[in-house]
């Protein structure tokens, strides 16, 4: 008797501990995600530890990220285009420094760099200097340029994703968000009807033997690693899409959507089939007894009964698709452009995180930007989940 | 008696270096993914020959390796690019010195689909193609076909090298397709008609066509090959480096000597890289 009580207490404690630990772990991960990601908005887009500077007589005050990038890309070559005087922009980086001054002038241990920087900037009034902040002399004759910090608005609406571009990186996630949503939406458009039809067939129409054969095959789909799906997509699906639609390139949003649809199918089928089968036999029999045909009772009684289960399947399918990384990384081409059609390459948020996190220096701007992407993904999923809860609670009333 | 002692001493002193050279090396190599397969092979062969050696090799990228060297979390940094001047300055500040060893070369080939009639391009043409200023093969003397640019991911050292040396630091076109692995670029270029990409020489196979490139405005076009890379005729050739602290030179010397020996360089060739000589 006593032993049983102890065992019960122990089991209770075990259950309590494991659920608490799980909750704390989830909260901790969310906290970590937000803590790392939010830091992005106190960062400057200029490469860490570097400073941009101009000649003291240059009237240009603040340059935007895009303008600085255009200057270093060679798209803007005249100060006039960014509100300065009508003169050529003279870039001045460590490369120009080593060609403008001899090694003797720079000093054996490069100790004269600050003096040389001063000299060069004072002599050339069209200069645009980019150096490590420490390389600037204490009494700098030029003017250090202010670059505005990354703002939330800029981050969310920016259309350029060049996270490692020097001297200035741009973190515009709009193409990534739209790419993710587009791929997911199309995937669900494919997967939902097919999944639903299969679920209805298996639950109501298929013979027992047929069902016993199909069920394990469909469940097998869920067990295939996503890399395998990705490779299959790259080698089989991508060339096929290219040929069928006569496209210049096969790595498209469509390829990603089809792969995602296949991957989301097992979830959708299994859950909707279960909910359809869980409709009480009495309900169905009552409907048949009232003279409704098999189809009528299926359409008017069974499916409405299983509605919330089907909805759950739909949302879980979206969840599977939106966070899927590897397969999408391999077949969508990963070009960070604004998606215009499903026949163009796109880049998704999970693929970006997976591809770039490995080499983003820990704690740097790029690293924080990737975590900020994680926050966006988290929020999108959170909204979807809340929607389900909302619809479910309405249905239950 | 004396004579025989001297003779013995001589023999021993002659033997000593050869005994010393078969030394165990325990170290950690970290950095460039380009160097990764090569370093792993070195570690494997060297470990088998010298019992007790433990060489662990980790990737992560050239920058990661060099940063780890600075912070002392790796012994040797493998890098597919030369140490940047500011990395050198950082090392200087800590009062340490770094030794640089070129272990092999790697030639980057520009590849297109075999059905593409284009056989050669100049650097300027490559720059306009990869930065997106030219978007149709027609504009560089080819058929009327859209150009599809394949690149590595931004995290790759190869991406940086190509950007620096071929694009002259300009950014890749935003519609360039960024592939997670070099193998994926080869796969995609082989099945996409208008494709262009860049991969290490070792990855070029019969499913893709490597272009001749010219870095002198179209005077000389050079085919990417081991021979042309060794004679430095091929312009997109880059050295692969090992960096380590000078103070540890004695400890790592046996491994470095092995890599630079003809046996080590044979491994370089067998793994698809370009040997030093």
Q: Is A256 on the interface with B (CB under 8 A)?
A: no
The pLDDT of residue A95 is 74
Residue B34, number of CB atoms within 10 A of its CB = 28
Q: Which one is predicted more confidently, A221 or A257?
A: A257
| Residue A31, CA distances (Å) to A24, A34, A226, A321, A358 in order | 10, 5, 28, 24, 21
CA angle at B114 for the pair B111 and B119, rounded to the nearest 5°: 65
Task: List b or e across B161-177, with b for residues whose CB sees 16 or more CB atoms inside 10 angstroms.
Answer: bbbebbbebbbbbbbbb
Q: Is B49 on the interface with A (CB under 8 A)?
A: no
The pLDDT of residue B6 is 60
Q: What is the pLDDT of residues B218-242, one digit of tens each?
A: 889 999 988 898 888 899 988 899 9
The pLDDT of residue A175 is 94
Q: What is the pLDDT of residues A79-116, one digit of tens each?
A: 888 888 888 888 888 777 777 887 778 777 777 888 88
Q: Is B170 on the interface with A (CB under 8 A)?
A: yes
Per-residue pLDDT band for B4 (boundaries 50, 70, 90) equals low
Q: How far is the alpha carbon of A175 from chain B, nearest alpha carbon, in Å?
A: 11
pLDDT value at A308 more than 50? yes
Residue B93, number of CB atoms within 10 A of its CB = 10
Per-residue pLDDT band for A173 (boundaries 50, 70, 90) equals very high
Topology agreement, domain B26-105+239-270 and domain B109-230: yes
The H or E element that residue B150 is part of is strand B148-152
pTM reported for the whole predicted model: 0.80
User: Domain residue spans in chain B?
Assistant: 26-105+239-270, 109-230
Per-residue pLDDT band for B122 (boundaries 50, 70, 90) equals very high
User: Any residues with CB less than 8 A from the CB of A296 and at least 6 apart, and which?
Assistant: A287
Q: Is A336 on the interface with B (CB under 8 A)?
A: yes
Residues of B in contact with A47 (CB under 8 A): none
Q: Please judge whether A334 and B153 are an interchain contact, meaning their C-beta atoms are less than 8 angstroms apart.
A: yes
pLDDT value at B197 more than 90? yes
Q: How far is the alpha carbon of B39 from chain A, nearest alpha carbon, in Å?
A: 19
Which CATH superfamily does the domain covering B26-105+239-270 fall into?
Periplasmic binding protein-like II (3.40.190.10)
The pLDDT of residue A395 is 67
pLDDT value at B1 more than 60? no
Q: Name the least confident of A278-282, A357-361, B100-104, B267-271.
A: A357-361
Q: Is A169 on the interface with B (CB under 8 A)?
A: no
Pair of tokens at residue A272: 């909707």
pLDDT value at B15 more than 60? no
Residues of B in contact with A238 (CB under 8 A): 188, 191
The pLDDT of residue B7 is 58
Question: How far is the first Cα of chain A from the last one, in angstroms, to the nearest whole number?
Answer: 45
CATH of B109-230, one of 3.40.190.10, 2.60.120.10, 3.40.50.1820, 3.40.50.10860: 3.40.190.10
Q: Is A165 on the interface with B (CB under 8 A)?
A: yes
Q: How large is the average pLDDT for residues A181-209?
A: 92
Per-residue pLDDT band for A54 (boundaries 50, 70, 90) equals confident
The pLDDT of residue A136 is 81
The pLDDT of residue A347 is 93
Q: Half-sphere exposure of A155 toward its Cβ, with a 13 Å CA cutoff?
A: 23
Q: How large is the average pLDDT for residues A231-249?
A: 91
Q: Please judge whether B194 and A345 are an interchain contact, meaning their C-beta atoms are less than 8 angstroms apart.
A: no
**Which of A56-70, B10-24, B98-112 reaches the highest mean pLDDT?**
B98-112
Residue of B nearest to A135 (CA): B86
Distance CA A37, CA A375 (A): 7
Residue of A nearest to B176 (CA): A335
């Amino acid at each position: 008797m006593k032993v049983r009580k102890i065992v019960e207490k122990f089991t209770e404690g075990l259950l309590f501990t494991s659920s608490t630990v799980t909750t704390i772990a989830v909260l901790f991960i969310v906290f970590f995600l937000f803590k790392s990601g939010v830091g992005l908005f106190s960062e400057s887009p200029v490469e860490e530890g570097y400073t941009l500077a101009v000649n003291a007589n240059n009237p240009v005050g603040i340059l935007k990220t895009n303008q600085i990038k255009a200057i270093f890309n060679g798209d803007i070559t005249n100060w006039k285009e960014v509100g300065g005087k009508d003169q050529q922009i003279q870039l001045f980086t460590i490369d120009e420094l080593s060609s403008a001054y001899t090694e003797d002038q720079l000093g054996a241990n490069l100790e004269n760099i600050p003096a040389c920087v001063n000299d060069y900037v004072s002599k050339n009034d069209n200069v645009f200097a980019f150096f490590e902040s420490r390389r600037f002399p204490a009494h700098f004759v030029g003017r250090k340029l202010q670059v505005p910090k990354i703002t939330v608005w800029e981050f969310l609406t920016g259309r350029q994703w060049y996270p490692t571009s020097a001297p200035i990186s741009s973190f515009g996630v709009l193409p990534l968000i739209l790419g993710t949503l587009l791929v997911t939406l199309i995937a669900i458009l494919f997967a939902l009807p097919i999944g639903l039809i299969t679920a209805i067939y298996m639950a109501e129409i298929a013979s027992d033997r047929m069902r016993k054969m199909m069920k394990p095959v469909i469940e097998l789909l869920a067990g295939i690693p996503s890399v395998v799906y990705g490779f299959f997509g790259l080698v089989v699906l991508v060339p096929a899409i290219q040929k069928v639609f006569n496209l210049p390139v096969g790595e498209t949003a469509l390829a990603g959507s089809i792969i995602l649809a296949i991957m989301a199918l097992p979830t959708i089928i299994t859950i909707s089939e279960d909910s359809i089968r869980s409709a009480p036999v009495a309900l169905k029999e009552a409907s048949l007894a009232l003279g409704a045909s098999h189809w009528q009772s299926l359409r008017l009684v069974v499916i409405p009964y299983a509605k919330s289960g089907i909805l759950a399947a739909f949302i879980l399918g979206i969840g599977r698709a939106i966070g899927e990384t590897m397969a999408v990384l391999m077949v969508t081409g990963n070009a960070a452009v604004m998606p215009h059609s499903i026949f163009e390459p796109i880049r998704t948020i999970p693929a970006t995180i997976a591809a770039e996190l490995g080499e983003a220096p820990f704690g740097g701007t790029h690293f924080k930007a990737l975590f900020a992407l994680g926050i966006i993904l988290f929020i999108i999923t959170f909204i979807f989940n809340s929607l389900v809860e909302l619809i479910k609670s309405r249905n239950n009333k | 008696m004396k004579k025989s002692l001297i003779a013995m001493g001589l023999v021993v002193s002659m033997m000593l270096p050869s005994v010393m050279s078969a030394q165990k090396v325990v170290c950690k190599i970290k950095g460039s993914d380009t160097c990764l397969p090569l370093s792993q092979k070195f570690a494997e062969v060297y470990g088998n020959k010298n019992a007790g050696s433990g060489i662990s090799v980790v990737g992560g990228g050239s920058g990661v390796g060099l940063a780890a060297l600075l912070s002392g979390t790796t012994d040797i940094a493998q890098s597919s690019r030369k140490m940047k001047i500011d990395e050198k300055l950082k090392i200087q500040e800590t009062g340490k010195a770094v030794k640089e060893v070129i272990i092999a070369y790697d030639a980057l080939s520009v590849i297109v689909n075999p059905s593409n009639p284009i056989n050669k391009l100049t650097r300027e043409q490559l720059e306009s193609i990869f930065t997106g200023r030219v978007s149709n093969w027609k504009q560089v003397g080819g058929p009327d076909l859209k150009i599809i640019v394949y690149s590595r991911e931004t995290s790759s050292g190869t991406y940086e090298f190509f950007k620096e040396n071929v694009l002259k630091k300009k950014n890749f076109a935003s519609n360039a397709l960024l592939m997670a692995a070099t193998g994926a670029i080869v796969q995609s270029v082989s099945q996409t008609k208008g494709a262009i990409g860049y991969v290490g020489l070792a990855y070029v196979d019969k499913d893709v066509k490597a272009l001749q490139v010219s870095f002198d405005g179209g005077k000389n076009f050079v085919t990417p090959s081991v021979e042309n890379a060794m004679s430095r005729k091929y312009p997109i050739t880059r050295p692969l480096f090992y960096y380590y602290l000078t103070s540890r030179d004695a400890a790592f010397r046996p491994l470095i000597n092995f890599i630079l020996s003809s046996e080590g360089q044979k491994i370089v060739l067998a793994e698809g890289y370009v040997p030093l000589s």
